Amino acid sequence: MSKVLIIAEHLHGKLNSSTARCVTCAKDLKAASIDVLVLADAQGIDGIAAGAAAIEGVSKVLTVANAANAHALAAVYAPQVVAAAKNGYTHVLAPSTTFGKDVAPRVAALLGVAQVSDIMHVDDAHTFQRPIYAGNAIITVTAPGDQVLVATVRTASYAAAGAGAASAPIEALSLSAELPTHTRFVDLAEGKSDRPDLQSAARVVSGGRGVGSAENFAVIFTLADKLGAAVGASRAAVDAGYVPSDLQVGQTGKIIAPELYMAIGISGAIQHLTGIKDAGTIVAINKDAEAPIFEIADLGLVGDLFKIIPELEQALA
């Protein structure tokens, strides 16, 4: 039977919803147990562990409190994950986020195994489906069954597991792992926003090159605030300097799956569509009736976004 270890993603003492999405994926493995590993410092670890323990389907939460874990450094996390994985685990999962893409390859390298990336469907314990060619094709891959499997989970393909009726037990884990000294934390530069997180938001309003300028992007922010939505952008808008790169949605940005996605002034290049293919309802607003975005949109409005958006805001009011 499979025994799964999930590397918890967290920031500022809060568990990221990507961890709960990994739990949903792990359930498809029909595992005997699904454990969550929380690496943090002593100050914030209890709250993170409690959040992980509340996820339905989690068998146990393992905690490693160490001052070296105060910041999510992949070089520091990886040896500890490997040490924990040697306790009989058959699968080690991490979300296919910036965090997971940083940590998982190091874990795989230290274990001497190949990594499976972007799992979007589980066929069986060692056979998975994942996207290739910017999501234009889906490939089935089979990993060796005689070694630990390290994989990242495409979080846009899985809903977050809900809260369970009871909390899973929390156990402090003592690990024997030599931590590297050549890597140190210097600073964390992150955008500050009261809006929902782009990768976990239920609603997202995105703007593209058609918005015209950084100043005009204010209409996107205003509409998003009225909807309680996160703000996203196409690569063209980011490259033009309208918004920072952390808002980019698409193949080279964030892969998201909101319940509602509004694409405003976005033509719909294949690289952008890759990032929203799992969205629930897609609404497109563009003055070009031939824009590719309309081919995948559930609802489309052809017209001037600067006229349509104020009308939408009036209706919302």
**Residue pLDDT, tens place only, 19-71:** 999 999 999 999 999 999 999 999 889 999 999 999 999 999 999 999 999 99
- The candidate with the shortest Cα–Cα distance to 92, out of 40, 34, 145, 144, is 34
Most distant CA pair in the chain, distance: 63
Q: Is the pLDDT of residue 78 over 70?
A: yes
Q: Pick left, alpha or beta for residue 57 (phi over 0 → left; psi -120 to 50 → alpha; otherwise beta).
A: left
Q: Are 87 and 33 in contact (CB under 8 A)?
A: no
Categorize the per-residue pLDDT at 1 as very low, low, confident or very high, splitting at 50, 70 and 90. Answer: confident
Q: Structure pTM?
A: 0.84
pLDDT of residue 191: 66
Distance, C-alpha 115 to centroid of its chain:
18
* pLDDT score recorded for residue 285: 97
Backbone φ and ψ of 203, nearest 5°:
-130, 140
Q: What band does 183 get if pLDDT is binned at 50, 70 and 90?
A: confident
Selected from 2.30.30.100, 1.10.10.10, 3.40.50.620, 3.20.20.70, the CATH number assigned to the domain covering 3-172 reads 3.40.50.620
User: Region 111-123: what's the mean pLDDT?
Assistant: 96
Mean pLDDT of 253-262: 93
Residue 276 confidence class, pLDDT cut points 50, 70, 90: very high
Average pLDDT over residues 66-95: 94
Tokens matching residue 266? 């976005």
CATH number (3.40.228.10, 1.10.240.10, 3.40.50.2300, 3.40.50.1220) of 203-316 reads 3.40.50.1220
Query: In sequence order, what are the residues at sequence separation of 6 or more whose Cβ sits closer than 8 angstroms to the Cβ of residue 42?
Result: 65, 67
Provide the pLDDT for residue 181: 84
Contact 247, 233 (CB under 8 A): yes
Terminal CA-to-CA distance of the chain, rounded, Å?
55
